[in-house]
A and B are shown apart, each in its own frame.
Chain A
């Protein structure tokens, strides 16, 4: 019995809890991708870099608050700086829309041209981020780091294995759940949200029903921007902030959105957790987990790791390929909200 508990604690500590936090971060990013895809109708490649740009402002805000001696008690100061990052990013996205995307919308350009335009926005944003905060790694988490420490857990339970629960993990999951709840309430219960769904469902009819397309577009950017800054800040708090890492997150974001079904918000969330747990599960060394369950003579010599951690993006890529071959519409049959 104790063996099984020990094995479960190992699993929770190294796969379940980090996976849940990572999955929430991916889900928030994928939700933004899916919203932009279904309403503005293009794959938004600048997502990762704009996320890095927004998080940079949250970090500046955090430093400012820390300098002024303001803190958020046991919670990270960055949460107080979120509104700053969100405001800057919404402004930035609306400016980008004004300068770049609006022109292509007016000439009714093909989606591929939008994708290329977003690639341009990505490069510009990337440069701006590097100018502002530099390419290096930044840590900005403060407040209480652990809710449950490994040693305390061992003392409480008397088990051989320890379990750590970090504050950032709990905050990530809680903030993500609140954000998702609000988003669904907004899309399904408010007139503006329904206008967005209507626009996503049938653009011509939406226009002829008197829905103002400019309004729908700006609300979409505002929501996507908020989700980006949330995802970026939570990821930075949980792991660390580096602009290049954020750019690399583009792959899991798209994988999650496509696995769930592009355009489906529920799909983006489910897809986020699938991608996160697949990455974690396949690159995790299972030896310690099985050492509690199997007799010693059965234990193999290796680490029982399917792929080294360096290959975690290969896992995501693999999922993406399999989904695109066998079920291109994704689990929840995407396309409209």
Chain B
């Protein structure tokens, strides 16, 4: 579905992504893990068109999408969420969702003026869809609150909801679970799995919570220092020498191995 070839992103002398190559299978929920500063979020930003790559290529379903702008990628069905939830804070939760569907007739100034009825019918349709999404995410009770005033976890759900308002193909989730309580985290995990099964979304998930990763992701890709270290099931990754070293550092690893006998 998504293929990344030898991607580099340098900030001055700092190589945030340093020759990463990976492939995301269609219909999978791929986990992307790695220690802080491994380049996961930068990789997301480059794939999603927020940052231009220094070199390397990104393909989606065989088509070269390197360097396309976010709104162009959106039209192709590639969506992402943010590590720190973003929202249009002066609009209500429902309006936030209603923003998303593309090519609404209300966008056309001519229709907005002279085809009020058509625009209204379409908006009602979109409103119904937004309400369905809110119900699916179990946050329909806050539909009319200003998005700036809802809790952090609810904002994360809203981010997920945004991806449901259009026909997404691949969704990149950047730390959906960060700062979210357990119950809400389960809701999010359920929503991801259901979207994957019912609507065929491909997910790529950055997450630090290994239970969460273990529950929904297969395969898991581990990054460190801007490169892809290993790929496999979570158990395989956990057993990988290089991964342990990347997370714990060589010194600490030897200590752990000496004291416990294994990791």
Contacts and interface: CB of A to CB of B under 8 A. Distances in A.
On whether the two chains bind one another, the answer is yes
Interface of A: 186, 190-192, 194-195, 197-198, 201-202, 204-213, 215, 219, 336-337
A198 B102 CA distance: 14
A194 B71 contact: no
Nearest to B75: A210
Q: Which 5 A-B pairs have the closest CB atoms?
A: A191-B106, A210-B74, A207-B70, A205-B86, A190-B112
Given A194-B95, A209-B74, A212-B71, A204 B50 contact: yes
A73 B132 CA distance: 56
A337 B106 CA distance: 19
A192 B100 CA distance: 12
A209 B106 contact: no
Contacts of B162: 209
B88 A198 contact: yes
Q: Is the interface of A mostly helix, strand, loop or mixed?
A: helix
Given A190-B106, A202-B88, A208 B99 contact: no
Contacts of A215: 107
Given A198-B88, A207-B69, A210-B166, A192 B109 contact: yes
Nearest to B101: A210
B79 A208 contact: yes
A108 to B, nearest CB: 11
A198 B106 CA distance: 15
Given A191-B112, A204-B50, A210 B102 contact: yes
A335 to B, nearest CB: 10
A209 B82 contact: no
B99 to A, nearest CB: 5
B107 A195 contact: yes
A192 B90 contact: no
Contacts of A198: 88, 91, 99
B112 to A, nearest CB: 4
Contacts, number: 77
Interface in B78-119: 79-80, 82, 86-91, 95, 98-100, 102, 104-107, 109, 112, 119
Given A191-B104, A208-B80, A209-B99, A201 B89 contact: yes
A204 B112 contact: no
Given A192-B106, A192-B107, A209 B100 contact: yes
B107 to A, nearest CB: 5
Interface of B: 48, 50, 69-71, 74-75, 79-80, 82, 86-91, 95, 98-100, 102, 104-107, 109, 112, 119, 162, 166
Given A191-B107, A192-B106, A204-B82, 6 more contacts: A191-B112, A195-B107, A201-B89, A205-B88, A211-B99, A337-B90
Contacts of B86: 202, 204-205
Nearest to A336: B90
A212 B80 CA distance: 16
A178 B15 CA distance: 55
Contact of B88 (A201, A207, A210): A201
A28 to B, nearest CB: 20
A207 B99 CA distance: 11
Contacts of A204: 50, 70, 82, 86
Contacts of B79: 208
10 contacts: A191-B107, A192-B106, A192-B109, A204-B86, A205-B86, A207-B69, A208-B70, A208-B80, A209-B100, A209-B162
Contacts of A194: 91, 95, 98-99
A211 B91 CA distance: 16
Contacts of A210: 71, 74-75, 100, 102, 166
A138 B109 CA distance: 36
Contacts of B82: 204-205
Nearest to A192: B107
Contacts of B166: 210
Nearest to B89: A201
A213 B71 CA distance: 8
B48 to A, nearest CB: 7
Nearest to B86: A205
Contacts of B88: 197-198, 201-202, 205-206
Contacts of A186: 112
B117 to A, nearest CB: 14
Nearest to B159: A205
A213 B88 CA distance: 16
A194 B107 CA distance: 9
Contacts of A202: 86-89
Contacts of B105: 191
A195 B90 contact: no
A207 B87 CA distance: 12
Given A190-B112, A192-B109, A210-B166, A201 B91 contact: yes
Nearest to A205: B86
A215 B103 CA distance: 12
A211 B50 CA distance: 14
A58 to B, nearest CB: 23
A194 B86 CA distance: 16
A179 to B, nearest CB: 15
A190 B111 CA distance: 10
B9 to A, nearest CB: 16
A191 to B, nearest CB: 3
A219 B108 CA distance: 11
A203 B79 CA distance: 15
